[in-house]
Amino acid sequence: MSRVGKLPISLPDKVEVTVASDNTVMVKGPKGTLSQKVDADIKVQIEDGTLTVVRPTDQKRHKALHGLYRALINNMVVGVSEGYVREMEVVGVGFRVENQGNLLTLTIGYSHPVMFYIPSEVKVTTAMEKGVPPLIRLESTDKELLGQICAKIRSFRKPEPYKGKGIRFKGEKIRRKAGKTAGAKA
């Protein structure tokens, strides 16, 4: 059995899960509603406050889908009940960040500011305080969408290993490299 797939998902009090006839799982909670189409072979069963994902055979394909769909449904349950938050730091001299609604403007060392529109499912806030790097805070119920948005923002200026400048997740450690040494001749 799949270690992830066989684990039951306990449903919080305010979360409601329904499975449609076309095998679409709908999760409704206090923070919103999410849906996920599940493969026709995989069965989703709901019994007295717990949800289990069952596979029909031990084929390699079914084993892979078993753990995948259990993880996706669990992420939806956590998303609609608690939500997900990611914080990113913009490290570099003169680097700035600001937002107007869902339009994020990044000044990160290019000749022009980078403008990025964030989907309405994700709430964005920015903070610029003296002495600490500018901060981007992203909140959403959809973990997959939040991860894609974070990856896209990070791709505008990845952290470089020599000075550590760039956009990184809060608390992330960047492996630093030593620069050139002056006067070392062979």
Residue 3, domain member (yes or no): no
Together in a domain, 157 and 92: yes
In a domain, 4, yes or no: no
* Interval 19-23 mean pLDDT: 88
Within this chain, do residues 39 and 51 fall inside the same structural domain, yes or no? yes
Do 97 and 66 have their domain in common? no
**What are the tens digits of pLDDT across the range 124-157?**
999 999 989 999 999 999 999 999 999 999 999 9
Cα radius of gyration (the chain): 22
Is residue 183 assigned to a domain?
no
* Count of all residues that appear for the chain in the document: 186
- Residue 81 above 70 pLDDT? yes
Write out pLDDT tens, residues 108-118.
999 999 999 99
- 69 contacts: CB under 8 Å, gap ≥ 6: 5, 36, 38, 39, 42, 44, 53
User: Are both 110 and 57 inside the same structural domain?
Assistant: no
Q: pLDDT-derived band of residue 183, with 50, 70 and 90 as boundaries?
A: low
Looking up residue 75, the CATH number of its domain turns out to be 3.90.930.12
Do 88 and 133 lie in one domain? The reply is yes
**46 sits in which H/E element:** strand 43-47
Query: Is 112 part of a structural domain of the chain?
Result: yes
Q: Which residues pair with 34 in a beta bridge?
A: 27
Q: Report the 10 Å Cβ neighbour count for 80.
A: 23
What percent of the chain shows pLDDT beyond 90?
A: 62
Specify whether 141 is located in the same domain as 90.
yes
In this structure, the answer to whether residues 76 and 27 fall within a common structural domain is: yes
166 strand-pairing partners? 91
Global confidence as pTM:
0.87
> Residue 120 — very low, low, confident or very high, per pLDDT cuts 50/70/90?
very high
Domain that includes residue 164, residue range: 84-169
Whether residue 1 lies inside any domain: the answer is no
What is the rounded distance in angstroms from the CA atom of residue 79 to the CA atom of residue 74? Answer: 8
Residues 88 and 128 in one domain: yes
Asked if residue 182 is part of any domain, the answer here is: no
Cβ neighbours of residue 50 closer than 8 Å, sequence gap 6 or more: 8, 9, 10, 11
65: which DSSP letter?
H
The 10 Å CB-count burial string (b at 16+, else e) for 6-30 is eeebebeeebebeeeeebebebbbe
94 in the same domain as 22? no
- What value does the mean pLDDT of the chain take? 90
Q: Based on the domain organization, do 32 and 97 belong to the same domain?
A: no
Range 68-78 average pLDDT: 93
The counts of H helices and E strands in the chain are: 2, 13
Together in a domain, 88 and 42: no
Q: How many domains does the chain have?
A: 2
pLDDT given for residue 2 in this prediction: 65
What pLDDT sits at residue 186? 58
Q: Would you state the pLDDT for residue 1?
A: 52
